[in-house]
Amino acid sequence: MSGRTRTQRFRLRRDSVAAARRYVEVTLGEWMLRGLVETVALVVSELATNAVVHAKGIGEFFELTLRRRDAVLVVEVSDSCRWRMPELVKPEPDDAAGRGLLVVDAVAQTWGVRPRAEGKTVWAHLSLRGDGGGSV
């Protein structure tokens, strides 16, 4: 089953975050990876929320790609905002926001961001094995 890829576009609206989570549930169910839904949906929720909050007004859509490669599930969220590249920061205890990438960092094997011609893609690699250290 290695090598599967699915991509879906969502409008930059808050209700699209829930739609992206449902897309994860359906896709992983079809790929027989139901045990990963909760963790992958959490990562997608954080990355999609960042796109909605920070790219709104710059573009109309964000794009979610799920890719299965060998023992890794690659999650990518792309948007049109190229001026603000995400950074891992440590928020103050009373900050109301700013913890999304900490969550992604805690559950992903690795993650990062790459620029595109129009915007950026934030990606995360999630292990399909139960070998610890960011595995799902």
Q: What is the pLDDT of residues 16-65, one digit of tens each?
A: 999 999 999 999 999 999 999 999 999 999 999 989 988 876 779 999 99
Quick one: pLDDT at residue 133? 41
Cβ contacts of residue 18 below 8 Å, gap of 6+?
A: none
pLDDT at 41: 97
- pLDDT of 55 reads 81
| Residue labelled with tokens 């999609």 | 48
Q: Is 71 helix (H, G, I), strand (E, B) or coil?
A: coil
Comparing 1-15, 53-67, 89-103, 117-131, which segment has the lowest mean pLDDT?
89-103
Contact 134, 108 (CB under 8 A): yes
For the chain, the domains span 5-127
Burial of 125 (0-12, 13-18, 19+ CB in 10 A): middle
The predicted structure's pLDDT at residue 97: 56
The confidence score (pLDDT) of residue 98 equals: 54
In this prediction, residue 135 carries a pLDDT of 42
pLDDT at 134: 47
Considering the chain, what is the average pLDDT of its residues? 85
Say yes or no to pLDDT of 92 above 90.
no
Those residues with Cβ within 8 angstroms of residue 15's Cβ, 6 or more apart along the chain or in another chain: none
**Residue 72 pLDDT exceeds 90:** yes
Confidence of residue 131 (pLDDT cuts 50, 70, 90): very low
- Fold entry, domain 5-127: Heat Shock Protein 90 (3.30.565)
